[in-house]
Amino acid sequence: MRAIIADDEELARRVLREYLNAHSDIEIVAECANGFEAVKMVTECRPDVLFLDVQMPKLDGFEVLELTGTETAVVFVTAFDQYAMRAFDAAAVDYLLKPFSATRLGESLERLRRRVILKAPGRSVTEAVELGNAARVPGEFLTRIVVKDGATVHVIPSTRLDYAEAQDDYVSLRSEGKTWLKQQTITSLEAALDPQRFLRLHRSYLVNVDRVARLEPNTKDTWIAVLADNSRIPVSRSGYSRFTTLAGSRR
């Protein structure tokens, strides 16, 4: 089985490498020190398993999971056991709590081998996104959104997101004159963003209220939000009520 190790700690990579080298059916095809490298190497090498640290620079383990598709099996490697159940919720094969022994790694490899034999289904992209949402503590909101466009990963700071538009199980993200498509529901994105900054002004639109220049009447019970870049977003009656309530609370 082809394996990739992704961990920003060189010592941790070395220990895992030594343990894995004792298993003749495991071939380490790449090692990565940050999340960007991990996404790149998974895309290029298409490994059977990714040993993935949770806390890494550039992209964390949850963002890597979100961007690497569903075919590669994942074993989380972490010093934070509160992530364990969330890892299983995302269909990770197992998690290794640092520091772990060679015996404990062997148990993970047995689970991995059974998965390969049974051809168990991998996680969905939606599950990976929800895992990242669940990993944040209450009151902590998404500060950036990651989007994969071919081999390129774009990181959009949430403060620079103008609006998101629902397109079935995808969202179209508009930021600084550019648009990206991401596999995520608008409801999931709304739950991850700060409600004091982002409002669902329409069932299909989630808008950064700091980008709203003005509201214009449209029909009897609807309005149009004109954004700073002159984008025009429909506003429902309930969206208008939410917007005026938030605007009043900010005064």
Pick from 132, 148, 180: which residue ends a domain?
132
Question: For the chain, how big is the Rg over CA atoms in Å?
Answer: 21
Q: What are phi and psi of 241, to 5 degrees?
A: -65, -45
Q: What is the pLDDT of residues 141-157, one digit of tens each?
A: 889 999 988 778 899 99
Amino acid at 158: S
Tokens standing for 173?
Answer: 């993200």
Dmax over Cα atoms in the chain, in whole Å?
72
* pLDDT at residue 250 is higher than 80: no
pLDDT level of residue 84 (50, 70, 90 thresholds): low
pLDDT attached to residue 221: 87
Residue 38's pLDDT band (boundaries 50, 70, 90)? very high
Asked if 102 and 140 sit in the same domain, the reply is no
**Domain span including residue 159:** 136-250
User: Domain containing 220 — which CATH number?
Assistant: 2.40.50.1020
Q: Are 17 and 123 contained in the same domain?
A: yes
Q: How confident is the model at residue 136 (pLDDT cuts 50, 70, 90)?
A: low
Structure tokens at 94: 């197992």
From 70, 105, 132, the end of a domain falls on 132
Whether 238 and 165 map to the same domain: the answer is yes
Q: Are residues 114 and 128 in the same domain?
A: yes
What confidence score (pLDDT) does residue 127 get? 56
> What does the pLDDT look like over 157-216, one tens digit per residue?
999 999 999 998 899 999 999 999 998 899 989 989 999 999 999 999 999 999 999 999
Out of 132, 147, 174, pick the residue that ends a domain.
Answer: 132
Residues 149 and 240 both lie in one domain = yes
- Reported as a single tens digit per residue, the pLDDT across 211-230 is 999 999 998 889 999 999 99
In this prediction, residue 228 carries a pLDDT of 94
Q: Indicate if 109 and 183 belong to the same structural domain.
A: no
Whole-Å CA distances, 163 to 5, 37, 177, 220: 36, 29, 11, 24
Task: Decide: 74 and 64 in contact? Cβ < 8 Å.
Answer: no
Q: Is the pTM of this model over 0.85?
A: no
* pLDDT band at residue 130 using 50, 70 and 90 as cut-offs: low
Name the helix (H) or strand (E) containing 58. Answer: none
